[in-house]
Structure 1
Amino acid sequence: MYAIAHDADTLAWNEAPSPGPLSERQVRLRVAWAGVNRADLMQRAGGYPPPPGASEILGLEVSGSVIETGSGVRQYQVGTRVCALLDGGGYAEEVVVDERQLLPLPDGLDLRQSAALPEVFATAWLNLFMEGALAPGERVLVHAAASGVGTAAIQLCRAFGQPCFVTAGSDEKLTRCRELGAEDGWNRHHGSFVETVKAWGGADMILDPVGASYLPDNQAVLNADGRLVVIGLMGGRHAKLDMGRLLMKRQRVIGSTLRAKPADAKGRILSALHEQVWPQLANGEIAPLIDRTWPIAEAEAAHAHMQQDANVGKLLLEVSGER
Protein backbone atom coordinates (compact mmCIF):
# COMPACT_ATOMS: atom_id res chain seq x y z
CA MET A 1 0.00 0.00 0.00
CA TYR A 2 0.93 3.69 -0.08
CA ALA A 3 0.98 5.98 2.94
CA ILE A 4 2.33 9.37 3.99
CA ALA A 5 5.80 9.25 5.52
CA HIS A 6 6.58 12.34 7.56
CA ASP A 7 9.16 14.31 9.46
CA ALA A 8 9.15 17.91 10.66
CA ASP A 9 10.01 19.20 7.19
CA THR A 10 8.41 16.90 4.62
CA LEU A 11 5.39 14.77 3.84
CA ALA A 12 5.84 12.13 1.14
CA TRP A 13 3.36 9.65 -0.40
CA ASN A 14 5.45 6.47 -0.53
CA GLU A 15 5.10 2.72 -0.47
CA ALA A 16 4.65 1.36 3.06
CA PRO A 17 3.90 -2.00 4.69
CA SER A 18 0.21 -2.80 5.10
CA PRO A 19 -1.01 -2.77 8.71
CA GLY A 20 -0.39 -6.12 10.38
CA PRO A 21 -2.78 -9.04 10.99
CA LEU A 22 -6.11 -8.33 12.63
CA SER A 23 -6.94 -9.04 16.23
CA GLU A 24 -10.34 -10.45 17.12
CA ARG A 25 -12.26 -7.15 17.15
CA GLN A 26 -10.40 -5.26 14.44
CA VAL A 27 -11.37 -4.47 10.86
CA ARG A 28 -9.29 -3.41 7.89
CA LEU A 29 -10.57 -0.43 5.89
CA ARG A 30 -9.81 0.75 2.37
CA VAL A 31 -9.53 4.49 3.00
CA ALA A 32 -11.52 6.84 0.79
CA TRP A 33 -10.99 10.19 2.58
CA ALA A 34 -8.88 11.24 5.56
CA GLY A 35 -9.44 14.21 7.85
CA VAL A 36 -6.71 16.70 8.76
CA ASN A 37 -6.46 17.77 12.41
CA ARG A 38 -4.18 20.10 14.34
CA ALA A 39 -3.00 17.02 16.23
CA ASP A 40 -1.38 15.89 12.97
CA LEU A 41 0.70 19.07 12.88
CA MET A 42 1.63 18.60 16.53
CA GLN A 43 2.68 14.98 15.97
CA ARG A 44 4.72 15.98 12.94
CA ALA A 45 6.54 18.59 15.05
CA GLY A 46 7.33 15.99 17.71
CA GLY A 47 4.92 17.31 20.33
CA TYR A 48 2.13 14.72 20.25
CA PRO A 49 3.38 11.14 19.89
CA PRO A 50 0.87 8.36 19.16
CA PRO A 51 -0.26 6.15 22.04
CA PRO A 52 1.75 2.97 22.64
CA GLY A 53 1.06 0.43 19.93
CA ALA A 54 -0.62 2.91 17.57
CA SER A 55 0.55 3.56 14.02
CA GLU A 56 3.22 6.22 13.55
CA ILE A 57 1.43 7.33 10.36
CA LEU A 58 -0.51 10.59 10.74
CA GLY A 59 -4.30 10.71 10.61
CA LEU A 60 -7.01 10.40 13.28
CA GLU A 61 -10.18 10.00 11.18
CA VAL A 62 -11.16 8.46 7.86
CA SER A 63 -14.05 7.19 5.83
CA GLY A 64 -13.88 4.06 3.71
CA SER A 65 -15.07 0.50 3.18
CA VAL A 66 -14.47 -2.64 5.24
CA ILE A 67 -12.24 -5.09 3.33
CA GLU A 68 -11.43 -7.59 6.12
CA THR A 69 -12.80 -8.41 9.57
CA GLY A 70 -11.39 -10.10 12.66
CA SER A 71 -12.88 -13.34 13.93
CA GLY A 72 -14.92 -11.62 16.64
CA VAL A 73 -16.42 -8.81 14.56
CA ARG A 74 -20.20 -9.10 14.25
CA GLN A 75 -21.49 -5.58 13.55
CA TYR A 76 -19.66 -4.91 10.27
CA GLN A 77 -19.22 -6.99 7.15
CA VAL A 78 -16.90 -6.75 4.18
CA GLY A 79 -18.21 -3.99 1.93
CA THR A 80 -19.81 -1.90 4.71
CA ARG A 81 -19.15 1.83 4.25
CA VAL A 82 -18.10 3.48 7.50
CA CYS A 83 -16.29 6.38 9.11
CA ALA A 84 -13.71 5.77 11.82
CA LEU A 85 -12.08 7.46 14.79
CA LEU A 86 -8.45 6.35 14.81
CA ASP A 87 -5.48 6.23 17.16
CA GLY A 88 -3.33 6.98 14.07
CA GLY A 89 -2.65 5.69 10.57
CA GLY A 90 -5.28 7.53 8.54
CA TYR A 91 -2.99 9.05 5.87
CA ALA A 92 -2.81 5.71 4.04
CA GLU A 93 -4.62 3.48 1.58
CA GLU A 94 -5.46 0.99 4.35
CA VAL A 95 -5.94 1.26 8.11
CA VAL A 96 -6.72 -1.24 10.86
CA VAL A 97 -9.07 -0.16 13.65
CA ASP A 98 -11.15 -1.65 16.47
CA GLU A 99 -14.78 -2.10 15.44
CA ARG A 100 -15.90 -0.02 18.44
CA GLN A 101 -14.28 3.00 16.79
CA LEU A 102 -16.44 2.73 13.65
CA LEU A 103 -19.78 4.26 12.76
CA PRO A 104 -22.00 3.68 9.74
CA LEU A 105 -22.43 6.63 7.43
CA PRO A 106 -25.36 8.86 8.43
CA ASP A 107 -28.36 8.44 6.11
CA GLY A 108 -27.97 10.68 3.08
CA LEU A 109 -24.25 11.44 3.58
CA ASP A 110 -21.48 10.13 1.35
CA LEU A 111 -17.93 9.06 2.16
CA ARG A 112 -16.49 12.52 1.56
CA GLN A 113 -18.92 14.22 3.93
CA SER A 114 -18.62 11.48 6.55
CA ALA A 115 -14.83 11.78 6.75
CA ALA A 116 -15.40 15.22 8.30
CA LEU A 117 -17.34 13.78 11.26
CA PRO A 118 -15.56 11.36 13.62
CA GLU A 119 -12.77 13.35 15.30
CA VAL A 120 -14.48 16.73 15.54
CA PHE A 121 -17.92 15.57 16.61
CA ALA A 122 -16.50 13.01 19.05
CA THR A 123 -14.27 15.70 20.56
CA ALA A 124 -17.09 18.24 20.76
CA TRP A 125 -19.59 15.76 22.22
CA LEU A 126 -17.13 14.35 24.76
CA ASN A 127 -16.14 17.74 26.07
CA LEU A 128 -19.46 19.55 25.96
CA PHE A 129 -21.78 16.87 27.28
CA MET A 130 -19.61 14.29 29.05
CA GLU A 131 -16.66 16.19 30.54
CA GLY A 132 -18.47 19.55 30.59
CA ALA A 133 -21.74 18.01 31.84
CA LEU A 134 -23.88 20.65 30.12
CA ALA A 135 -27.39 21.04 31.47
CA PRO A 136 -30.23 22.42 29.33
CA GLY A 137 -29.91 26.16 28.75
CA GLU A 138 -26.39 26.55 30.15
CA ARG A 139 -24.22 29.10 28.37
CA VAL A 140 -21.13 27.99 26.41
CA LEU A 141 -18.02 29.90 25.33
CA VAL A 142 -16.18 28.24 22.42
CA HIS A 143 -12.67 29.44 21.55
CA ALA A 144 -11.06 28.97 18.11
CA ALA A 145 -14.62 28.47 16.98
CA ALA A 146 -13.98 28.38 13.22
CA SER A 147 -11.96 25.16 13.57
CA GLY A 148 -13.40 21.75 12.82
CA VAL A 149 -14.10 21.10 16.51
CA GLY A 150 -15.40 24.63 16.99
CA THR A 151 -17.88 24.50 14.13
CA ALA A 152 -19.08 21.09 15.36
CA ALA A 153 -19.50 22.47 18.88
CA ILE A 154 -21.52 25.46 17.66
CA GLN A 155 -23.92 23.18 15.80
CA LEU A 156 -24.31 20.88 18.80
CA CYS A 157 -25.03 23.85 21.04
CA ARG A 158 -27.68 25.10 18.63
CA ALA A 159 -29.26 21.67 18.25
CA PHE A 160 -29.39 20.94 21.99
CA GLY A 161 -30.46 24.37 23.21
CA GLN A 162 -27.21 25.76 24.60
CA PRO A 163 -26.61 29.51 24.03
CA CYS A 164 -23.15 29.87 22.50
CA PHE A 165 -20.61 32.72 22.36
CA VAL A 166 -17.51 32.29 20.20
CA THR A 167 -14.06 33.75 19.69
CA ALA A 168 -12.23 33.56 16.36
CA GLY A 169 -9.46 35.27 14.43
CA SER A 170 -11.40 37.40 11.93
CA ASP A 171 -14.73 39.11 11.44
CA GLU A 172 -15.35 36.85 8.44
CA LYS A 173 -14.95 33.77 10.64
CA LEU A 174 -17.30 35.24 13.22
CA THR A 175 -19.92 35.77 10.53
CA ARG A 176 -19.69 32.09 9.56
CA CYS A 177 -19.95 31.07 13.20
CA ARG A 178 -23.10 33.15 13.65
CA GLU A 179 -24.57 31.51 10.55
CA LEU A 180 -23.98 28.14 12.21
CA GLY A 181 -25.84 29.23 15.34
CA ALA A 182 -23.54 31.23 17.62
CA GLU A 183 -25.42 34.03 19.40
CA ASP A 184 -22.47 36.42 19.44
CA GLY A 185 -18.70 36.51 19.07
CA TRP A 186 -15.42 38.34 19.57
CA ASN A 187 -12.47 38.85 17.24
CA ARG A 188 -9.42 37.82 19.29
CA HIS A 189 -7.30 40.45 17.51
CA HIS A 190 -9.40 43.16 19.21
CA GLY A 191 -8.02 42.35 22.68
CA SER A 192 -9.58 40.67 25.69
CA PHE A 193 -12.99 39.04 25.38
CA VAL A 194 -13.81 39.47 29.08
CA GLU A 195 -16.14 42.48 29.10
CA THR A 196 -18.10 41.34 26.04
CA VAL A 197 -18.63 37.83 27.42
CA LYS A 198 -19.63 39.22 30.84
CA ALA A 199 -22.17 41.51 29.14
CA TRP A 200 -23.52 38.46 27.28
CA GLY A 201 -24.11 36.70 30.58
CA GLY A 202 -20.86 34.89 31.27
CA ALA A 203 -20.14 31.24 30.58
CA ASP A 204 -21.26 28.14 32.45
CA MET A 205 -18.85 26.04 30.41
CA ILE A 206 -15.84 26.95 28.23
CA LEU A 207 -14.38 24.77 25.46
CA ASP A 208 -10.78 25.91 25.12
CA PRO A 209 -8.03 24.65 22.78
CA VAL A 210 -5.82 27.67 23.58
CA GLY A 211 -4.64 26.96 27.11
CA ALA A 212 -2.30 29.09 29.19
CA SER A 213 -2.68 32.52 27.60
CA TYR A 214 -6.48 32.42 28.04
CA LEU A 215 -6.60 31.10 31.61
CA PRO A 216 -6.99 34.42 33.50
CA ASP A 217 -9.69 35.70 31.14
CA ASN A 218 -11.45 32.33 31.14
CA GLN A 219 -11.62 32.40 34.93
CA ALA A 220 -12.92 35.98 34.83
CA VAL A 221 -15.93 35.07 32.66
CA LEU A 222 -16.71 31.64 34.12
CA ASN A 223 -19.90 31.71 36.18
CA ALA A 224 -20.38 30.08 39.57
CA ASP A 225 -20.10 26.27 39.28
CA GLY A 226 -18.63 26.78 35.81
CA ARG A 227 -16.42 24.26 34.00
CA LEU A 228 -13.36 25.11 31.91
CA VAL A 229 -12.48 22.18 29.63
CA VAL A 230 -9.00 22.56 28.15
CA ILE A 231 -8.45 20.49 24.99
CA GLY A 232 -5.32 22.11 23.55
CA LEU A 233 -2.28 24.24 24.27
CA MET A 234 -1.98 26.60 21.30
CA GLY A 235 -1.40 29.45 23.79
CA GLY A 236 1.13 27.63 25.96
CA ARG A 237 1.12 25.22 28.89
CA HIS A 238 2.04 27.33 31.96
CA ALA A 239 -0.19 30.00 33.54
CA LYS A 240 -1.17 31.39 36.95
CA LEU A 241 -4.40 30.00 38.37
CA ASP A 242 -6.42 32.30 40.65
CA MET A 243 -7.16 29.83 43.43
CA GLY A 244 -9.31 32.35 45.30
CA ARG A 245 -11.64 32.77 42.33
CA LEU A 246 -11.60 29.00 41.81
CA LEU A 247 -12.82 28.41 45.37
CA MET A 248 -15.27 31.29 45.71
CA LYS A 249 -17.02 30.53 42.41
CA ARG A 250 -16.63 26.74 42.68
CA GLN A 251 -14.97 26.64 39.26
CA ARG A 252 -13.62 23.42 37.80
CA VAL A 253 -10.69 23.12 35.37
CA ILE A 254 -10.75 19.89 33.36
CA GLY A 255 -8.01 18.63 31.07
CA SER A 256 -9.24 16.40 28.26
CA THR A 257 -7.71 14.43 25.40
CA LEU A 258 -9.45 11.90 23.18
CA ARG A 259 -6.69 10.10 21.29
CA ALA A 260 -5.26 8.02 24.15
CA LYS A 261 -8.63 6.77 25.42
CA PRO A 262 -9.09 2.99 25.02
CA ALA A 263 -11.39 1.51 22.42
CA ASP A 264 -14.24 0.86 24.85
CA ALA A 265 -14.25 4.52 25.98
CA LYS A 266 -14.19 5.74 22.38
CA GLY A 267 -16.96 3.30 21.62
CA ARG A 268 -19.16 4.86 24.31
CA ILE A 269 -18.60 8.31 22.83
CA LEU A 270 -19.39 7.10 19.31
CA SER A 271 -22.50 5.26 20.53
CA ALA A 272 -23.76 8.54 21.98
CA LEU A 273 -23.08 10.27 18.67
CA HIS A 274 -24.93 7.55 16.79
CA GLU A 275 -27.94 7.90 19.06
CA GLN A 276 -28.03 11.68 19.53
CA VAL A 277 -26.30 13.27 16.52
CA TRP A 278 -26.59 10.87 13.57
CA PRO A 279 -30.39 11.43 13.27
CA GLN A 280 -29.78 15.19 13.13
CA LEU A 281 -27.16 14.72 10.43
CA ALA A 282 -29.66 12.63 8.49
CA ASN A 283 -32.39 15.30 8.68
CA GLY A 284 -30.02 18.19 7.96
CA GLU A 285 -30.27 19.91 11.37
CA ILE A 286 -26.51 19.37 11.72
CA ALA A 287 -24.12 19.18 8.75
CA PRO A 288 -20.44 18.46 8.17
CA LEU A 289 -18.63 21.68 7.31
CA ILE A 290 -15.83 21.10 4.80
CA ASP A 291 -13.50 24.00 4.05
CA ARG A 292 -11.25 22.47 1.36
CA THR A 293 -9.93 19.15 0.06
CA TRP A 294 -6.61 18.07 -1.49
CA PRO A 295 -5.32 14.84 -3.04
CA ILE A 296 -3.42 12.84 -0.43
CA ALA A 297 -0.14 13.45 -2.28
CA GLU A 298 -0.64 17.18 -1.61
CA ALA A 299 -1.02 16.81 2.15
CA GLU A 300 1.72 19.41 2.63
CA ALA A 301 -0.59 22.09 1.20
CA ALA A 302 -3.38 21.07 3.57
CA HIS A 303 -1.03 21.32 6.56
CA ALA A 304 0.14 24.76 5.44
CA HIS A 305 -3.49 25.91 5.14
CA MET A 306 -4.22 24.75 8.70
CA GLN A 307 -0.98 26.21 10.05
CA GLN A 308 -2.09 29.61 8.72
CA ASP A 309 -5.46 29.27 10.54
CA ALA A 310 -7.08 29.83 7.17
CA ASN A 311 -9.85 27.23 7.46
CA VAL A 312 -13.46 27.41 8.58
CA GLY A 313 -14.43 23.80 9.24
CA LYS A 314 -12.69 20.62 8.14
CA LEU A 315 -9.82 19.97 5.75
CA LEU A 316 -9.87 16.62 3.96
CA LEU A 317 -7.40 14.51 1.98
CA GLU A 318 -8.69 12.46 -0.97
CA VAL A 319 -7.21 8.96 -0.91
CA SER A 320 -9.27 6.79 -3.27
CA GLY A 321 -11.77 9.52 -4.08
CA GLU A 322 -14.69 7.14 -3.67
CA ARG A 323 -17.95 8.91 -2.83
Structure 2
Amino acid sequence: MGILVAHGVDEWAQVVAESFVPLSLVTVSGSFTGSVHSSVLGPALTLSAVSVQGHSVATRTSRLVRTEPRDDFLFSLHLDGDGAVVQDGHEAVLARGGGVLYDSARPYQLLFPTSHRQLVLQIPRHHLCDRVDRVAEVCGRALPPGGPGVRVLAAYVRELAETCESLTGTPRAELGVTTVDLLATVLRAAVGDDIGPRGLQGRSALFASMQTYARDRLSDPRLTLADLAQVHGVSMRYMNELFAAEGSSPAAFIRAERLRAAHRLLTDPRYSALTVSTVATRCGFGDRTTFTRAFVRAFGLTPVAFRAAHGHESE
Protein backbone atom coordinates (compact mmCIF):
# COMPACT_ATOMS: atom_id res chain seq x y z
CA MET A 1 0.00 0.00 0.00
CA GLY A 2 3.04 2.28 0.21
CA ILE A 3 4.13 5.03 2.58
CA LEU A 4 1.97 7.96 3.73
CA VAL A 5 3.72 10.93 5.34
CA ALA A 6 2.17 13.77 7.34
CA HIS A 7 3.38 17.15 8.59
CA GLY A 8 0.99 18.56 11.19
CA VAL A 9 -2.39 17.69 12.64
CA ASP A 10 -4.61 17.82 9.55
CA GLU A 11 -2.36 15.67 7.42
CA TRP A 12 -1.84 13.16 10.25
CA ALA A 13 -5.61 12.84 10.79
CA GLN A 14 -5.98 12.00 7.10
CA VAL A 15 -3.10 9.49 7.14
CA VAL A 16 -4.50 7.73 10.22
CA ALA A 17 -7.99 7.57 8.71
CA GLU A 18 -6.70 6.12 5.43
CA SER A 19 -4.35 3.66 7.11
CA PHE A 20 -6.42 2.54 10.12
CA VAL A 21 -9.63 4.18 11.36
CA PRO A 22 -10.80 7.79 11.73
CA LEU A 23 -9.64 9.38 15.00
CA SER A 24 -10.05 12.75 16.68
CA LEU A 25 -6.65 14.35 17.32
CA VAL A 26 -6.83 16.14 20.66
CA THR A 27 -3.29 17.49 20.78
CA VAL A 28 -0.32 17.31 18.45
CA SER A 29 3.07 19.00 18.91
CA GLY A 30 3.88 21.90 16.60
CA SER A 31 6.84 20.15 14.98
CA PHE A 32 4.91 16.92 14.47
CA THR A 33 5.74 14.58 11.58
CA GLY A 34 4.55 11.03 11.08
CA SER A 35 4.63 8.22 8.55
CA VAL A 36 2.79 4.95 7.99
CA HIS A 37 4.14 2.19 5.76
CA SER A 38 1.40 -0.40 5.23
CA SER A 39 1.62 -3.87 3.69
CA VAL A 40 -1.35 -6.06 2.79
CA LEU A 41 -1.05 -9.59 4.20
CA GLY A 42 -4.43 -10.87 3.02
CA PRO A 43 -7.99 -9.65 2.43
CA ALA A 44 -8.40 -6.67 4.80
CA LEU A 45 -5.41 -7.85 6.91
CA THR A 46 -2.60 -5.29 7.04
CA LEU A 47 0.69 -4.74 8.86
CA SER A 48 1.85 -1.12 9.21
CA ALA A 49 5.07 0.44 10.43
CA VAL A 50 4.30 3.70 12.24
CA SER A 51 6.99 6.28 12.97
CA VAL A 52 6.19 9.58 14.71
CA GLN A 53 8.31 12.57 15.71
CA GLY A 54 6.53 14.64 18.36
CA HIS A 55 3.79 14.06 20.91
CA SER A 56 0.12 13.38 20.26
CA VAL A 57 -3.17 12.39 21.85
CA ALA A 58 -5.79 10.78 19.61
CA THR A 59 -9.27 9.49 20.47
CA ARG A 60 -11.70 7.13 18.81
CA THR A 61 -14.80 8.84 20.17
CA SER A 62 -18.27 7.38 20.59
CA ARG A 63 -19.44 9.67 17.80
CA LEU A 64 -16.80 8.33 15.41
CA VAL A 65 -17.72 4.76 16.34
CA ARG A 66 -21.30 5.57 15.28
CA THR A 67 -20.62 7.70 12.21
CA GLU A 68 -17.47 5.98 10.91
CA PRO A 69 -18.00 2.35 11.94
CA ARG A 70 -15.20 -0.19 11.64
CA ASP A 71 -15.13 -3.85 12.68
CA ASP A 72 -11.42 -4.54 13.11
CA PHE A 73 -9.12 -5.25 15.99
CA LEU A 74 -5.78 -3.49 16.07
CA PHE A 75 -2.69 -4.93 17.73
CA SER A 76 0.18 -2.53 18.40
CA LEU A 77 3.68 -3.87 18.96
CA HIS A 78 5.60 -1.07 20.66
CA LEU A 79 9.14 -0.53 19.38
CA ASP A 80 10.31 2.74 20.89
CA GLY A 81 9.20 5.79 22.91
CA ASP A 82 6.53 6.27 25.58
CA GLY A 83 2.85 5.61 25.12
CA ALA A 84 -0.39 4.16 26.43
CA VAL A 85 -3.70 2.87 25.09
CA VAL A 86 -6.93 3.36 27.06
CA GLN A 87 -10.05 1.28 26.38
CA ASP A 88 -12.93 0.03 28.54
CA GLY A 89 -11.46 1.72 31.63
CA HIS A 90 -8.10 -0.05 31.24
CA GLU A 91 -4.86 1.83 30.58
CA ALA A 92 -2.13 -0.20 28.92
CA VAL A 93 1.24 1.47 29.42
CA LEU A 94 3.39 0.38 26.50
CA ALA A 95 6.85 -1.08 27.04
CA ARG A 96 9.38 -1.69 24.30
CA GLY A 97 8.74 -5.15 22.85
CA GLY A 98 5.29 -5.38 24.45
CA GLY A 99 1.92 -4.86 22.89
CA VAL A 100 -1.76 -4.11 23.29
CA LEU A 101 -4.96 -5.11 21.49
CA TYR A 102 -7.81 -2.65 21.01
CA ASP A 103 -11.19 -2.76 19.31
CA SER A 104 -12.12 -0.20 16.63
CA ALA A 105 -15.83 -0.83 17.31
CA ARG A 106 -15.53 0.71 20.79
CA PRO A 107 -14.05 4.06 21.94
CA TYR A 108 -10.37 4.22 22.84
CA GLN A 109 -7.59 6.76 23.34
CA LEU A 110 -3.95 6.74 22.20
CA LEU A 111 -1.56 8.71 24.40
CA PHE A 112 1.97 9.35 23.13
CA PRO A 113 3.90 11.99 25.14
CA THR A 114 7.09 11.38 23.12
CA SER A 115 8.19 10.37 19.66
CA HIS A 116 7.50 6.68 19.06
CA ARG A 117 7.60 3.75 16.66
CA GLN A 118 5.14 0.87 16.41
CA LEU A 119 4.11 -2.03 14.23
CA VAL A 120 0.33 -2.20 13.95
CA LEU A 121 -1.56 -5.27 12.78
CA GLN A 122 -5.14 -4.57 11.66
CA ILE A 123 -7.26 -7.71 11.80
CA PRO A 124 -10.87 -8.37 10.75
CA ARG A 125 -12.94 -9.27 13.80
CA HIS A 126 -13.78 -12.82 12.79
CA HIS A 127 -10.09 -13.77 12.49
CA LEU A 128 -9.66 -13.38 16.25
CA CYS A 129 -13.16 -14.24 17.45
CA ASP A 130 -12.88 -17.59 15.66
CA ARG A 131 -9.70 -18.30 17.62
CA VAL A 132 -10.21 -16.65 21.02
CA ASP A 133 -13.49 -17.05 22.90
CA ARG A 134 -12.99 -14.13 25.30
CA VAL A 135 -11.03 -11.70 23.16
CA ALA A 136 -12.88 -8.64 24.54
CA GLU A 137 -11.39 -9.30 27.98
CA VAL A 138 -7.86 -8.53 26.83
CA CYS A 139 -8.62 -5.30 24.94
CA GLY A 140 -6.89 -2.32 26.52
CA ARG A 141 -4.65 -4.52 28.67
CA ALA A 142 -0.87 -4.44 28.24
CA LEU A 143 0.84 -7.59 27.01
CA PRO A 144 4.26 -7.28 28.68
CA PRO A 145 7.41 -8.02 26.70
CA GLY A 146 8.81 -10.57 29.14
CA GLY A 147 6.33 -13.36 28.43
CA PRO A 148 7.61 -16.12 26.12
CA GLY A 149 4.60 -15.93 23.82
CA VAL A 150 4.91 -12.17 23.39
CA ARG A 151 8.66 -12.51 22.72
CA VAL A 152 8.04 -15.02 19.93
CA LEU A 153 5.22 -12.92 18.47
CA ALA A 154 7.29 -9.73 18.61
CA ALA A 155 10.27 -11.33 16.87
CA TYR A 156 8.04 -12.80 14.17
CA VAL A 157 6.17 -9.52 13.50
CA ARG A 158 9.40 -7.53 13.31
CA GLU A 159 10.89 -9.95 10.79
CA LEU A 160 7.68 -10.05 8.76
CA ALA A 161 7.61 -6.25 8.58
CA GLU A 162 11.16 -6.29 7.22
CA THR A 163 10.58 -8.95 4.57
CA CYS A 164 6.92 -9.03 3.53
CA GLU A 165 7.33 -6.59 0.63
CA SER A 166 9.61 -9.12 -1.07
CA LEU A 167 6.99 -11.89 -0.79
CA THR A 168 4.47 -12.82 -3.46
CA GLY A 169 0.73 -12.97 -2.76
CA THR A 170 0.14 -16.52 -1.53
CA PRO A 171 3.23 -16.86 0.74
CA ARG A 172 2.53 -13.42 2.15
CA ALA A 173 -1.08 -14.37 2.92
CA GLU A 174 0.02 -17.63 4.56
CA LEU A 175 2.50 -15.78 6.77
CA GLY A 176 -0.29 -13.36 7.65
CA VAL A 177 -2.38 -16.30 8.85
CA THR A 178 0.56 -17.48 10.97
CA THR A 179 0.79 -14.01 12.52
CA VAL A 180 -2.85 -14.13 13.55
CA ASP A 181 -2.38 -17.66 14.94
CA LEU A 182 0.57 -16.48 17.05
CA LEU A 183 -1.38 -13.47 18.32
CA ALA A 184 -4.34 -15.70 19.19
CA THR A 185 -2.02 -17.98 21.21
CA VAL A 186 -0.80 -14.97 23.20
CA LEU A 187 -4.33 -13.69 23.76
CA ARG A 188 -5.67 -17.08 24.89
CA ALA A 189 -2.87 -17.26 27.44
CA ALA A 190 -3.71 -13.73 28.60
CA VAL A 191 -7.33 -14.69 29.33
CA GLY A 192 -6.39 -18.06 30.84
CA ASP A 193 -7.70 -20.15 27.95
CA ASP A 194 -5.02 -22.69 27.04
CA ILE A 195 -7.21 -24.65 24.62
CA GLY A 196 -7.50 -23.36 21.10
CA PRO A 197 -10.59 -23.89 18.99
CA ARG A 198 -8.96 -26.76 17.09
CA GLY A 199 -8.21 -28.60 20.33
CA LEU A 200 -11.85 -28.74 21.40
CA GLN A 201 -14.12 -31.67 20.69
CA GLY A 202 -17.53 -31.79 19.07
CA ARG A 203 -19.29 -30.94 15.85
CA SER A 204 -19.61 -27.22 16.61
CA ALA A 205 -15.87 -26.85 17.27
CA LEU A 206 -15.02 -28.81 14.12
CA PHE A 207 -17.40 -26.66 12.08
CA ALA A 208 -15.87 -23.46 13.53
CA SER A 209 -12.37 -24.74 12.74
CA MET A 210 -13.35 -25.45 9.12
CA GLN A 211 -14.76 -21.95 8.79
CA THR A 212 -11.59 -20.42 10.19
CA TYR A 213 -9.36 -22.51 7.94
CA ALA A 214 -11.34 -21.50 4.84
CA ARG A 215 -11.48 -17.80 5.77
CA ASP A 216 -7.75 -17.69 6.33
CA ARG A 217 -7.13 -19.01 2.82
CA LEU A 218 -9.72 -17.12 0.79
CA SER A 219 -7.02 -15.49 -1.32
CA ASP A 220 -5.72 -18.87 -2.49
CA PRO A 221 -7.63 -19.99 -5.63
CA ARG A 222 -6.17 -23.47 -5.10
CA LEU A 223 -8.22 -23.99 -1.95
CA THR A 224 -10.40 -27.05 -2.55
CA LEU A 225 -13.15 -28.77 -0.62
CA ALA A 226 -11.04 -31.92 -0.58
CA ASP A 227 -8.25 -29.98 1.16
CA LEU A 228 -10.71 -28.65 3.73
CA ALA A 229 -11.93 -32.14 4.56
CA GLN A 230 -8.48 -33.74 4.55
CA VAL A 231 -6.91 -31.16 6.88
CA HIS A 232 -9.65 -31.81 9.43
CA GLY A 233 -9.55 -35.59 9.08
CA VAL A 234 -13.13 -36.06 7.90
CA SER A 235 -14.80 -37.35 4.76
CA MET A 236 -16.35 -35.05 2.16
CA ARG A 237 -19.74 -36.51 3.08
CA TYR A 238 -19.37 -35.70 6.77
CA MET A 239 -18.13 -32.19 5.98
CA ASN A 240 -21.15 -31.59 3.77
CA GLU A 241 -23.41 -32.79 6.59
CA LEU A 242 -21.83 -30.32 9.01
CA PHE A 243 -22.44 -27.38 6.70
CA ALA A 244 -25.92 -28.61 5.73
CA ALA A 245 -26.88 -28.60 9.42
CA GLU A 246 -26.13 -24.89 9.38
CA GLY A 247 -28.15 -24.31 6.22
CA SER A 248 -25.22 -24.03 3.82
CA SER A 249 -22.59 -26.00 1.95
CA PRO A 250 -18.77 -25.73 1.98
CA ALA A 251 -18.69 -24.29 -1.53
CA ALA A 252 -21.42 -21.75 -0.79
CA PHE A 253 -19.68 -20.71 2.42
CA ILE A 254 -16.34 -20.12 0.69
CA ARG A 255 -17.99 -18.20 -2.15
CA ALA A 256 -19.95 -16.02 0.29
CA GLU A 257 -16.84 -15.27 2.35
CA ARG A 258 -14.87 -14.35 -0.76
CA LEU A 259 -17.64 -12.00 -1.84
CA ARG A 260 -17.77 -10.52 1.64
CA ALA A 261 -14.03 -9.87 1.51
CA ALA A 262 -14.43 -8.28 -1.94
CA HIS A 263 -17.29 -6.11 -0.66
CA ARG A 264 -15.01 -4.86 2.08
CA LEU A 265 -12.11 -4.07 -0.24
CA LEU A 266 -14.39 -2.23 -2.68
CA THR A 267 -15.95 -0.03 0.01
CA ASP A 268 -12.87 0.68 2.14
CA PRO A 269 -11.12 3.90 0.98
CA ARG A 270 -7.75 2.44 1.98
CA TYR A 271 -8.05 0.03 -0.97
CA SER A 272 -9.44 2.47 -3.55
CA ALA A 273 -6.26 2.21 -5.64
CA LEU A 274 -6.74 -1.52 -6.20
CA THR A 275 -8.16 -2.48 -9.58
CA VAL A 276 -11.22 -4.71 -9.70
CA SER A 277 -9.05 -7.46 -11.19
CA THR A 278 -6.66 -7.19 -8.23
CA VAL A 279 -9.59 -7.34 -5.79
CA ALA A 280 -10.81 -10.48 -7.57
CA THR A 281 -7.38 -12.10 -7.29
CA ARG A 282 -6.90 -11.19 -3.63
CA CYS A 283 -10.27 -12.70 -2.80
CA GLY A 284 -9.51 -16.00 -4.52
CA PHE A 285 -11.44 -15.65 -7.78
CA GLY A 286 -9.67 -17.17 -10.76
CA ASP A 287 -10.61 -14.40 -13.19
CA ARG A 288 -12.44 -11.10 -13.31
CA THR A 289 -15.37 -12.45 -15.34
CA THR A 290 -16.19 -15.14 -12.79
CA PHE A 291 -15.85 -12.59 -10.00
CA THR A 292 -18.13 -10.08 -11.74
CA ARG A 293 -20.88 -12.66 -12.32
CA ALA A 294 -20.78 -13.82 -8.70
CA PHE A 295 -20.72 -10.23 -7.40
CA VAL A 296 -23.73 -9.20 -9.52
CA ARG A 297 -25.71 -12.21 -8.27
CA ALA A 298 -24.90 -11.31 -4.67
CA PHE A 299 -25.17 -7.52 -4.70
CA GLY A 300 -27.09 -6.56 -7.84
CA LEU A 301 -24.32 -4.39 -9.31
CA THR A 302 -21.06 -4.99 -11.10
CA PRO A 303 -17.96 -4.39 -8.93
CA VAL A 304 -17.18 -1.24 -10.95
CA ALA A 305 -20.69 0.18 -10.49
CA PHE A 306 -20.73 -0.84 -6.84
CA ARG A 307 -17.40 0.90 -6.19
CA ALA A 308 -18.56 4.04 -8.04
CA ALA A 309 -21.70 4.10 -5.89
CA HIS A 310 -19.41 4.27 -2.85
CA GLY A 311 -17.40 7.17 -4.24
CA HIS A 312 -14.48 5.31 -5.84
CA GLU A 313 -13.75 5.17 -9.56
CA SER A 314 -10.75 2.79 -9.86
CA GLU A 315 -11.12 0.10 -12.51
Q: Same fold (TM over 0.5)?
A: no
More helix by share: 2
Q: Normalising by structure 2, what TM-score?
A: 0.31
